[in-house]
Amino acid sequence: MTNVELNRLSKEILDASIEVHREMGPGLLESVYEECLLEELKLRNIKATNQVELPLIYKGKKLKKEFRLDVLVENEIIIELKTVDSIIPVHEAQIISYLRLSDKKLGFIVNFNVALLKQGFKRFVNNFWE
């Protein structure tokens, strides 16, 4: 996927997230926002899957532990959903690790527990040059 396509999808993800927040408001469970965001992306003809398994590979060996990506958009962009008072460094480390482990270029943290969604929307890149 080209950088132009990734940027176009980024805008759609932001717009879809804002629409879910506008419709549902803050204060609900992460799982509620996950379902709503999946539906909103579907309405926009954007392929998204939730709770995607990411295997743990250590020294070339797949171990029993795996990670779960909240949402994977078009098999390219990772979205980690939160409903917290504020994003803290461990949340950022989580998405950065997921990007590195999955070899994906682009990810977002979307915290729905904010007054304005733009305050809870943060973009992360992994070897991505605009």
Tokens of 83: 């409903």
**Looking at residues 50-78, what average pLDDT do you find?**
95
Question: Residue 127: its pLDDT value, please?
Answer: 72
Nearest of 62, 58, 69 to residue 102 by alpha carbon: 69
- One-letter amino acid of 104: K
Look at 129 and 21; give whichever has higher pLDDT. Answer: 21
Question: Residue 20: its pLDDT value, please?
Answer: 98
The CATH number of 3-125, from 1.10.287, 3.40.720, 3.40.50, 3.40.960, is 3.40.960
To the nearest whole number, what is the mean pLDDT of the chain? 94
Any idea of the CA torsion for 88, 92, 97, 98, to the nearest 10 degrees? Answer: 110
**Looking at residues 105-118, what average pLDDT do you find?**
96
Scored b (16 or more CB within 10 A) or e, 69-93 reads bbbbbbebbbbbbbbeeebeeebee
